Amino acid sequence: MKVKVKERVNWPITILLILGLVTVIFPLYLTVVIAFKKPSEMTNSISGILSLPKSWSFSNFAEAMRVTDFWHSLGNSVLITIVTVVLSILIHSMIGYVIGRSKSTSKFYKVAYLYKFIYFYVVSGMFVPFAILMMPLVKQTAQMRIDNIFGVILCYLVFYMPMNVLLYSGYLKNIPLALEEAARVDGATTWKTY
């Protein structure tokens, strides 16, 4: 014999979810509707803003792309992203490898402490909020005349270094040292092992 379980509705949670849905859907609806309206359809009344467009037009998108020089900006963003990711992988993984292996496997007591200090110094950069650095950074890059694509790439490399070094050196702790020792026995240099 099956026992029927009475399902109960948790009304406070349901009401909160519905309110959350409305606060997300309403601005999204306004964004889409306004984007497809012609400027002549935008009246000062609330019903003019909330109503659907009479004819769906993509001319606003074309105008926005023309005014903002979209394709040039997209090209810059792609270039900056690709160069930053490639350089981050190369530079930050090398730093993480050196710090991760040297702070735990150094035979000299003082050298291990030096690498631990360097690790904590680099990782402490995560605790500095970007809002504090933003204005001095803009002034300094302008004074150094690197307020261009090169400067942006350099800033990204520096800002993401603490997190990347933390991740790389933390990942190295999971790789057994026996693998590196076996590579060294087989004649691999430090670069080949890396």
Q: What is the pLDDT along the chain (194 residues), one digit of tens a residue?
A: 666 767 788 889 999 999 999 999 999 998 888 888 887 777 766 667 778 888 888 888 888 899 999 999 999 999 999 999 999 999 999 999 998 888 766 666 677 788 889 999 999 999 988 888 888 988 999 999 998 999 999 999 999 999 999 999 989 888 888 888 899 899 998 888 88
**Residue carrying structure tokens 């992203």:** 81
Query: How far apart are the C-alpha atoms of 79 and 49, rounded to whole Å?
Result: 38
H/E stretch holding 61 reads helix 59-67
- pTM attached to this predicted model: 0.73
Q: Which two tokens stand for residue 129?
A: 């909020």
Burial class (CB in 10 A: 0-12, 13-18, 19+), 147: middle
What letter represents residue 89's amino acid? I
What letter represents residue 23's amino acid? T
What letter represents residue 4's amino acid? K
Residue 94 and residue 167 in contact, taking contact as beta carbons nearer than 8 Å: no
